[in-house]
């Protein structure tokens, strides 16, 4: 099983990815993780990437693709993978397609978890994080026992700037502007699986599995 997982911030991709990894015995591949691993290991690719990162520049697509190729040949990818956070652009999707073709692989699906924007804003803007241990809470869905105080270490909870409503709306605007061309790209290939991302976590998971096994994931 090989697929891309798309969804706006707050759509619950991380939660679903954990269950899908266990279900299909596959790995989750994050470009951020790959970059950090290569930089830490001091690989030639990592050194090249670091030279861009320390200048505050984006790492070129060709370096990212080379790192992904190095990751895909590892034995734990034999059953498949979930790509999370890549590709982000049509150019990256083209490069990924060329790489997979060279490796004799193909994507089974592009899973797109859809959640109404107002629901996303409610999910993200309601987050509260412990300033001590980092434990996460939510003012609607996962309240602490004492308002504003962490259950684990009794430290004050904070509302991160990235989670303020105005910031969230801007993040969603940027995401949709970047993602729609990519979604159209995979729609033309006939591999997009749109999933209703509202409701209980297990219900969403079951929708993804049913969609994959009904055709997109075979």
Contact 182, 175 (CB under 8 A): no
In the chain, the N- to C-terminal Cα span, in Å, equals 8
pLDDT digits (tens, 9 = 90+) for 28-85: 998 888 888 888 898 899 898 888 888 888 889 999 999 999 999 999 999 999 998 8
Strands across the sheet containing 192-196? 27-30, 81-84, 2-7, 109-114, 192-196
Contact 120, 210 (CB under 8 A): no
Alpha carbon distance 173, 207 (integer Å) = 26
Q: Would you please indicate which residues are annotated as catalytic (active-site) residues? A: 13, 88, 127, 160, 171
Nearest to 137 by CA among 153, 113, 118: 153
pTM of this structure: 0.83
2-26+79-117+167-216 is classed CATH 2.60.40.1120: no
In Å, how far are 49, 52, 61 from 55, measured between CA atoms?
10, 5, 16
- pLDDT value, residue 106: 94
**pLDDT of 216 strictly over 80:** no
pLDDT digits (tens, 9 = 90+) for 88-109: 889 999 999 999 999 999 999 9
How would you class 123 by CB atoms within 10 Å of its CB: exposed for 0-12, middle for 13-18, buried for 19 or more? buried
């Amino acid at each position: 099983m090989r697929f891309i997982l798309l969804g706006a911030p707050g759509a619950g991709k991380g939660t679903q990815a954990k269950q899908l990894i266990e279900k299909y015995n596959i790995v989750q591949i994050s470009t951020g993780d790959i970059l950090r691993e290569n930089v830490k290991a001091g690989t030639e690719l990592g050194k090249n990437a670091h030279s861009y990162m320390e200048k505050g520049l984006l790492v070129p697509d060709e370096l990212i693709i080379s790192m992904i190729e190095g990751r895909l040949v590892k034995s734990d990818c034999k059953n498949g993978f979930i790509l999370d956070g890549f590709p982000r652009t049509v150019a990256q999707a083209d490069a990924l397609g060329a790489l997979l073709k060279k490796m004799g692989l193909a994507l089974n699906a592009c899973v797109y978890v859809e959640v109404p924007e107002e629901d996303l804003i409610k999910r993200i803007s309601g987050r509260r994080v412990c300033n001590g241990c980092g434990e996460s809470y939510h003012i609607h869905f996962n309240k602490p026992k004492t308002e504003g105080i962490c259950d684990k270490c009794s430290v004050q909870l904070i509302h991160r700037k990235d989670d303020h409503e105005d910031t969230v709306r801007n993040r969603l605007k940027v995401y949709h502007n970047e993602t729609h061309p990519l979604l159209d790209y995979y729609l033309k290939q006939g591999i997009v699986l749109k999933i209703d991302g509202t409701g209980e976590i297990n219900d969403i998971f079951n929708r993804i599995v049913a969609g994959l096994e009904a055709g997109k994931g075979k």
